[in-house]
Amino acid sequence: MTTSLSEDHLVGLVAIGVIPWIGWTLRRGLREARLPIGRTYVVRGERPSAFATLAILYVAAAMLMAWISYDLLLESLI
């Protein structure tokens, strides 16, 4: 199954649009010392290792979205 170039661009734009939302959530969570997971929060004071792991997962998700958007938006130009 192949996708058209416009579909790749649309998915790439959505992926690049998710990056600021992830960054905003991470910044707010670090400032308030609690990160959201689902409908609940992980509080730094109660579970510091789970908080650190979740923060790393947020950073990894942002990096993955950046790689996906790069791949879909810029690799199609080459």
From residue 34, alpha-carbon distances to 38, 42, 54, 69 in Å are 13, 5, 10, 28
Q: Which pLDDT belongs to residue 35?
A: 96
pLDDT in tens, 5-23: 788 889 999 999 999 999 9
State residue 31's pLDDT score: 97
Q: How many domains does the chain contain in total?
A: 1
Q: Which domain holds residue 42?
A: 5-77
Rounded mean pLDDT of the chain? 91
pLDDT in tens, 58-76: 999 999 999 999 998 887 6
What is this structure's pTM?
0.85
